[in-house]
Amino acid sequence: MTTAVAAPFRFFSLQVVRTRRLGSSLVRVSFGGEDLRYFFSGGWDQSLSLFLPHPGQDAPAVPFELGDGWWQGWRELPDDVRAVMRSYTLRALRRDPGKIEIDIDFVLHTPAGPASAWAARAVPGDRVVLLGPAVADNRAIRFRPPQDTGPVVLWGDETALPAISAILESLPSGQRVRAWIEVRDPGNRQELTALADAEIHWVGPGESLDAVRDAQLPSAAQPYVWIAGESGSVKALRRHFVQECGIDRRRVTFVGYWREGLTEEQLRERE
């Protein structure tokens, strides 16, 4: 691997270390590899690009040897050769003596898309390529509450559950937090760890906006809101917080992880 380590982002060649089922349709995949000595992230909602092989391939086809031309080279590969690329959020980074690992959580779908199908059959030794940060503070970290933040308000669906879990674990004791997590599958509800003064609500599909509207948000002059998940729901909730609640839009972070009815390839074509 010849990618420069000094760049904010670089490619990492990794292997599956283990898998663990978290819920009825959630699986955690742990990855390791020598390249992770160059992996650094100081955020709690770190975005990553994961490249997966097609069935029958022993490794994903990513022309990272082309340097800055890798994107065009990847796009020009045949559909059945070009690695499947999907965006995920880092769940955890562990630097233990002699061993570095990262965790990524996958939602398993029916019918399964290529990433869901890969995660369902992943076994130790399976090879992937990751495009991730070599610099701890990077632009793919979006959760950045201002220093004067009062209460923290979180919303996300199952795709945002890894980030919400990591954020809750990071907040200090006494920090007021109100979180709503929308899950399509009740079997994916989890016991979340938090030192903060956290009030967590699990809601079903389509229930989020009404649940948030009915809630009495903590009274404070300077709330910070983080919203991530399906783009349509994210936009509706952002309008609620900014227009109906009167929260300064600069204190509302919103990220569309996916869009109902569109694949990630279709979304990228619209960018």
**Which helix (DSSP H) or strand (DSSP E) does residue 214 occupy?**
helix 208-214
Same domain as 162, residue 123: no
Query: For the domain that residue 166 is a member of, what is the CATH number?
Result: 3.40.50.80
| Tally of domains in the chain | 2
Report whether 140 contacts 47 (CB < 8 A).
Answer: yes
Q: Among 80, 103, 133, where does a domain finish? A: 133
Instruction: Identify whether 171 is part of a domain.
Output: yes
Residues 23 and 129 in one domain: yes
Residue-number span of the structural domain to which 63 is assigned: 9-133
> pLDDT tens per residue, the chain (271 residues)?
334 445 799 999 999 999 999 999 999 999 999 999 999 999 999 999 999 999 999 999 999 889 899 999 999 999 999 999 999 999 999 999 889 999 999 999 888 899 999 999 999 999 999 999 999 999 999 999 999 999 999 999 999 999 999 999 999 999 999 999 999 999 999 999 999 999 999 999 989 999 999 987 766 678 999 999 999 999 999 999 999 999 999 999 999 998 876 666 655 555 5
119 & 158 share domain? no
pTM (two decimals): 0.92
79, part of any domain:
yes
Do 220 and 118 lie in a common domain? Answer: no
DSSP states of 110-129: SS--HHHHHHHH--TT-EEE
Given CA atoms 121, 124, 127, 128 in this order, what sign does their dihedral have? positive
